[in-house]
Amino acid sequence: MKKILVWLSGWVDSAVSAYLLKKQWYDVTAWFMINYLAPEWEYCPTRDDIEEAKKVAKYLDIPFFTFDYREDYAEKVLGYMYEWYKKWITPNPDIMCNSEVKFKVFLDEALAHWFDWIAMWHYARITTSKYSKYSPHHNTLPMGEGIDQLTVATSLPLGETEWGLEFGETEWGQELRGTEGELFHLLKWVDANKDQSYFLAWLNQFQLSKALFPIWEYEKSQVRQIAQEAWLPNANRKDSQWICFVWKVDLTTFLEKKIDPKPGKILDTSWKVLWEHKWVFYYTIGQRKWLDLWGQKEPVFIVKKDIEKNEIIVGTTSDLELYDDKLFVKEFHFLCPLPLKHGIKDNFSLFQRERPEGSTLGVYPQGEGLSAKCKIRYRQADQDCTIYKENDIYRVEFKDKQRAIASGQICAVYIWDELVMSGVIN
């Protein structure tokens, strides 16, 4: 019997994930990850979550453990946040938490304790494909594991790659979950309004091969219905409104713990002084919160930052400085590199899944840009774009101008519904 360690967060999605896995007769153990705990005299939602998770584990009759990752989280996520803010770059702690803590630190610990997989309640799908020189093949992994059937044809014969890796191995020297010639693809969730594939943009093949998303085929309303029909203790608990590190803490107050305030001017686009800010590092392009500007005829947003002068320039949604039709990425991370033909990093010679009839995504003359969809923030609608490689940098050009492109955020690139690569906005 396969052993699965499921992340039981205290919320309904994780409870349903554990319930579905146990229903399929897996050997399920629950874990709760402690990233942050407020002092005893302060209210801390983490303590509430632990109690809810315990209730679910007891109801499902599965072992329950807590893992204290406060030191790892402080080093890998909070440290990264502080350093990037000091460099005037807006970080994305949710993506860092997933790639460096949940799917790395915890995954390593799970494997060390002889678990076969970890199960997460992220709203995304993992699919698998096999290589074939002559014809596509279907995989036969069991359903309900966050695994769907996918067909891929590539130009590489079995047992061969142009990346110097044997099938079933990765550059990390660890064995993948699947069989020889099997690859793992990250796809959007079936419920577009809740899709979280963007937050998983830095995962690699090994991490995908060891992860299960049990609620992959259900919409949010169905997940809630399953919880109610199964009489799960938290079936009617309202969804969490914070992600990863965001507790009931004012972000400015949080940053002041490590970055001393340095007041500066807030100006409008005609260079009129409107107010003072605490420090330019605290703010990002497009931000409206914490400006403390009252009496404005229209809502104002940050359209530009002058780091040398420690000044913020604000404008309305109609200000052109808030919009741009391109961004730059120094390096892309490829989630599934093996089925990409040799040379993709230079000319995007991409050979992906069988193209839906009439689709132009991924289609281009040799040497020209890659036609794709991308997101520059969570829950953003897909944006048409073309990606070009110029010397040592990538240029992403949008069909429509984009609002508030911020350095440090992640540009996630999709071919149809698959997240194929991601990079930090320069």
Domain boundaries, the chain: 3-126+165-229, 259-318, 325-425
Cα dihedral 168, 169, 175, 178 sign:
negative
Instruction: Give the pLDDT confidence score for residue 54 in this predicted structure.
Output: 96
Of 44, 97, 336, 374, catalytic: 97
Instruction: Give the pLDDT confidence score for residue 320 in this predicted structure.
Output: 65
Q: Does domain 3-126+165-229 have CATH number 3.40.50.720?
A: no
Residues 332 and 322: beta-carbon distance below 8 Å:
no
325-425 homologous superfamily: Translation factors (2.40.30.10)
Instruction: Give the pLDDT confidence score for residue 360 in this predicted structure.
Output: 52
Of 244, 336, 385, 411, catalytic: 244
Residues 55 and 30: beta-carbon distance below 8 Å:
no
Tell me if residue 97 is catalytic: yes
| pTM score of the predicted model | 0.79
- Separation between Cα atoms, residue 323 and residue 112, nearest integer Å: 48
Tell me if residue 244 is catalytic: yes
Instruction: Give the pLDDT confidence score for residue 145 in this predicted structure.
Output: 33
Low-confidence ranges of the chain (pLDDT < 70): 131-181, 240-253, 280-282, 289-290, 292, 295, 297, 320, 337-368
CATH of domain 259-318: 2.30.30.280
